[in-house]
């Protein structure tokens, strides 16, 4: 599953969203490149680089990530961040491997797997500044900030993963998209490592209300709902996301002495 590594230092795992690949997380490098974190970007089972296997559910994916990290990291402490579906996976990992997790961050994460049960804002476009016919439907259907800059980021980091997706694999997972049990229910004791949960106020894919409802579980949690931001909020509001992530990473590193030995 490990697709790309960068930097040196304490390990930070990055998990991408559904039907995408690790490249969709690379925009975060602009705020991580000078940090003392070793970034490990994962590719989930539907990506072009993935080794074919009998993955048939979201639970299979989440368990596979846990097994991969245990094999690669042993008992090494790490922090983890996930976007969308990857945020659901990151929550599972952080709870299953809590004893060595320095921190958890999610970006536009899936907190309610069943699409029909999500509390979602109405579809909205805050800024539309593109020439006619400048973007395809994949971008126009999801982007809240439709500018040349966000389109360029989408085309560079998101579109290649979409085009390379193994639809047979994603079809199987989509049919069994929920974890057997939500991580916060499976491990109900308060999550005490620093956590960061950033949402887009205009995110009509995963919303923000479902994540905010779990704020009492994350007793060291920062919850932020960014205006003028949709599902790809870290491409639409990169400066705000960078400030929040810097603060979270500082807290996560300071959490290391609190881990059980």
pLDDT in tens, 38-89: 999 999 999 988 876 789 999 999 999 999 999 999 999 999 999 999 999 9
d(CA 46, CA 52): 8
pLDDT of residue 259: 72
As a whole number, mean pLDDT of residues 199-221 equals: 98
Task: Give the position of tokens 């945020």.
Answer: 87
Report whether 247 contacts 105 (CB < 8 A): no
Distance between CA 189 and CA 235 in Å, rounded? 33
Q: What per-residue confidence (pLDDT) applies to 260?
A: 66
Between CA 243 and CA 59 the distance in angstroms is 32
Residue 113: Cβ within 10 Å count:
16
Mean pLDDT of 2-9: 90
pLDDT at 230 over 80: yes
For the chain, what is the mean pLDDT?
94
pLDDT reported for residue 258: 73
Closest C-alpha to 236, from 159, 138, 125 = 125
Record the tokens describing residue 153, joined without a space: 């980021």
Quick one: pLDDT band at residue 33, thresholds 50, 70, 90?
confident
Provide CB contacts within 8 A for 198, sequence distance 6+.
Answer: 105, 106, 107, 108, 224, 226, 233, 234, 241, 244
Contact criterion met (CB below 8 Å) for 106 and 40: no
| Largest distance between two CA atoms of the chain | 59
Per-residue pLDDT at 135: 80
Q: Give me the torsion for CA of 242, 246, 251, 254, rounded to 10°.
A: 150
Q: Which of 218, 222, 211 is CA-nearest to residue 251?
A: 222
- Across the range 100-110, mean pLDDT stands at 98
Report residue 25 as tokens. Answer: 């997380």
- The DSSP call for residue 100 is G
- Composition of the chain by helix, strand, coil, percent to 5: 40, 20, 40
Q: Give the distance from CA 156 to its chain's centroid.
A: 18
Extended beta strands in the chain, E state: 2-6, 10-15, 37-42, 78-83, 101-107, 127-128, 145-146, 195-200, 221-226
> Which tokens hold the place of 94?
């952080």
pLDDT in tens, 162-186: 999 999 999 999 999 999 999 999 9
Q: Is 153 helix (H, G, I), strand (E, B) or coil?
A: helix
Q: How far apart are CA 66 and CA 187, in angstroms?
A: 15
């Amino acid at each position: 599953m490990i697709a790309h590594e960068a930097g040196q230092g304490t390990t930070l795992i990055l998990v991408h969203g559904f039907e995408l690949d690790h490249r969709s997380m690379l925009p975060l490098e602009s705020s991580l490149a000078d940090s003392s974190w070793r970034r490990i970007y994962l590719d989930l089972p539907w990506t072009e680089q993935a080794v074919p296997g009998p993955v048939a559910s979201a639970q299979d994916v989440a368990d596979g990530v846990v097994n991969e990290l245990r094999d690669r990291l042993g008992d090494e402490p790490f922090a983890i961040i996930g976007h969308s579906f990857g945020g659901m996976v990151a929550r599972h990992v952080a709870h299953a491997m809590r004893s060595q997790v320095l921190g958890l961050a999610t970006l536009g994460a899936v907190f309610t797997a069943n699409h029909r049960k999500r509390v979602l804002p109405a579809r909205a476009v805050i800024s539309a500044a593109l020439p006619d016919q400048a973007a395809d439907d994949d971008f126009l259907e999801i982007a809240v900030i439709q500018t040349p800059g966000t389109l360029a980021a989408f085309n560079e980091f998101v579109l290649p993963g979409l085009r390379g997706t193994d639809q047979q694999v994603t079809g199987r997972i989509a049919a069994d998209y929920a974890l057997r049990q939500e991580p916060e229910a499976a491990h109900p004791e308060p999550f005490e490592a620093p956590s960061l949960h950033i949402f887009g106020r205009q995110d009509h894919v995963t919303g923000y209300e479902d994540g905010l409802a779990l704020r009492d579980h994350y007793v060291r949690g920062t919850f932020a709902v960014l205006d003028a931001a949709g599902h790809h909020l870290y491409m639409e509001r990169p400066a705000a996301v960078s400030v929040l992530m810097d603060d979270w990473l500082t807290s996560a590193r300071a959490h290391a002495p609190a881990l059980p030995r």
